[in-house]
Structure 1
């Protein structure tokens, strides 16, 4: 099985303009906000999932928040491999990298965040997703020789379309950074979780592997609950930041 790096399968039609990856070494939570840049992409020649080539992704402001940097690194890892063309295999690899991004974001929150509720959520998210990473790694290895059953380069393919839409939604709803580390974590984890829910729903609709579909349902249940908790906290604290 390939390691965490996986193709930016069905990710967005736009690219975040994030800061230099070296900035995640610092605990600088003063942010400048993120922009999006729509690109024309031709995936058919490269074999990548349609709409997912980030080779032209531009660098943004050097002051981008560490949370945004972590998401940028996650997408770069997902872009490192190409889809096999099996729904279960490719979902496992994509969600594996997505979970690793969430763990990185949780670590940043535990380093920089001050709010007790957001820190507890970060601890829980990290613990849950580390456990699921182990299961996803096993599933990805088990499915390495699975037969192809969808077309990653065909935008009309139902699975390709749903996976792409999951990341398009994340990009379209990407919040601007603020100076508060807790609020940055809250807002970015909300959209990050929603994209995971959407990916898991694509697996439920088009996957064939029983164990992986069960895991996808568990992800939906857990992360929809956490999304609501994140939104509730945001509503209670947005005016204080």
Structure 2
């Protein structure tokens, strides 16, 4: 069973069990007593609505202050794996956009053209989302002792270190190809490209800590696994 099929089949369960349980507990902590807000009877002394933390089976619920609830939230601080994945995947997606931009003028098959359009429509917004994530979570400089220390985030990721990336020679051949030759090469290169993205997403899901990155990685696994199977059928 290939990596893409395996990860796609388990995408709904990629969040590790302990973290999933913590997330569910957090959702419980954020449940407010909205039904009691109108008369103010159950408000805290400072006028703020209380937050209820459901107890375990057989135990009573607890009423928490917002500060106590915030401390009870699980820590999903980004780690080195999260930062590495987002930075590398931005470059990975950019190459997919470059390849897809060649299709309208070079592809012979309408399905290949439509595939390129879908890839562009999906991955361009994903790049924007990942860039926004990086702006909110800048990686610590190497040597500062932060969670990403030891990784140089001041430079673009090395293309050769990312699975599935086409070489400059392959990109040149794709640019020179026309018609059916373009279609065959595009499907070959893009299938490998997607397989590499799924591999990278799997690494992020295994080693990352941030919930937002997990969600982005799960989306990559779902969409690109489906496209891998579609491209194999087209080829």
User: TM-score, normalising length from structure 1?
Assistant: 0.51
Map 1:14-53; keep pairs closer than 5 Å.
none
Distance 1:102 1:175 in 2: 13
Aligned partner of 2:131 in structure 1 is 137
Which runs of structure 2 are paired with 1:155-194 in the superposition (5 Å)? 167=163, 180-194=181-195
Q: Contact (CA 8 Å) 2:95, 2:165: kept in 1 or not? A: no
The match for 2:115 is 121
What is the count of residue pairs matched by the alignment? 138
1:231 aligns with 232
Following the alignment from structure 1 to structure 2, what is the Cα–Cα distance between the partners of residues 222 and 145?
Answer: 27
Moved over 4 A (4+): 149-153, 174-179
| Cα separation, 1, equivalents of 2:231 and 2:150 | 35
Structure 1 residue 106 and structure 2 residue 122: aligned?
Answer: no
What is the distance in 2 between the residues matched to 1:213 and 1:204? Answer: 6
Aligned to 2:147: 148
Instruction: Kindly state the Cα deviation for residue 142 of structure 1 after the two structures are TM-superposed.
Output: 1.7
Q: Give the Cα–Cα distance (whole angstroms) in 1 for the partners of residues 119 and 220 of structure 2.
A: 11
Output the CA distance in 2 between the equivalents of 1:191 and 1:170. 8
For residues 151 and 101 of structure 2, the distance between their equivalents in structure 1, rounded to whole angstroms, comes to: 32
- RMSD over equivalenced CA pairs, Å: 2.8
Shift of 1:152: 5.2
Distance 1:90 1:181 in 2: 32
1:113-139 alpha-carbon deviations (Å, 9 max, x no partner) = 120111000000000000101101011
Instruction: After TM superposition, give the deviation of residue 150 of structure 1 in Å.
Output: 7.2
Distance 2:187 2:203 in 1: 25
